Amino acid sequence: MKELLERYPATSEFMLDMLHDLQDAEPKNYLKPEALQAVAEYLSVPLSEVVSTATFYTMYSLKPRGKHVIRLCESPPCQLVGAESLLEILAKHLAVKVGETTADGVFELETASCLGVCGVAPAMMIDAELYGNLTEARIVDVIEDVRRRDATS
């Protein structure tokens, strides 16, 4: 943890990057209490400041999640072209509700506001990768591709 933090100068402008790195380093994709504490100590800021930053941004989680986080956009442009039914398909395929982890721990299903790629709506992200022009036929293939890549890596 210390090594990750020491990649950055000890100033608050790097807090988001530090939180990203610490979350990415955790197999369950979340910020443990000790990670938040370490950031507070490294930056010499109150723990409450780190916690309020980590809870403000939806990309951070304070609870364990699946290895891969799916964020399906639910803003109006994506809704207008079928995001709602895609969410139903994902939830059914993965046997989870939004905010839950699949039984095998591989996926977390989340929704997000506009991902900034409305031109290819409906869209989702899996971890840092964007997928657009999703269709009911394609969305399950995308998920299964990630699962296959994971199994062979």
Q: Does 75 bind ligand FES (CB under 6 A)?
A: yes
Burial 55-83 (b: 16+ CB within 10 A, else e): eeeeebbeeebbbbbbbbbbbeebeebbb
Strand 124-126 to 107-112 pairing:
unpaired
Strand 107-112 to 68-73 pairing:
parallel
Which residue, 18 or 78, is less far from ligand FES as judged by CB?
78
Residue 91: exposed, middle, or buried by beta-carbon count in 10 A (0-12, 13-18, 19+)? middle
Select from 3-11, 17-25, 61-69, 111-119 the region that touches ligand FES (CB under 6 A). 111-119
Q: Does 109 bind ligand FES (CB under 6 A)?
A: no
The CB-of-126 to ligand FES minimum distance in angstroms stands at 14
# of chain residues touching ligand FES (CB under 6 A): 10
Instruction: Determine the Cα–Cα distance for residues 45 and 37; give it in Å rounded to an integer.
Output: 10
User: According to CB under 6 A, which one of 31, 73, 96, 146 is a site residue for ligand FES?
Assistant: 73
Q: Does 78 bind ligand FES (CB under 6 A)?
A: yes
Q: Does 94 bind ligand FES (CB under 6 A)?
A: no
Q: Which residues bind ligand FES (CB under 6 A)?
A: 73, 75, 77-78, 114-115, 117-118, 121, 123
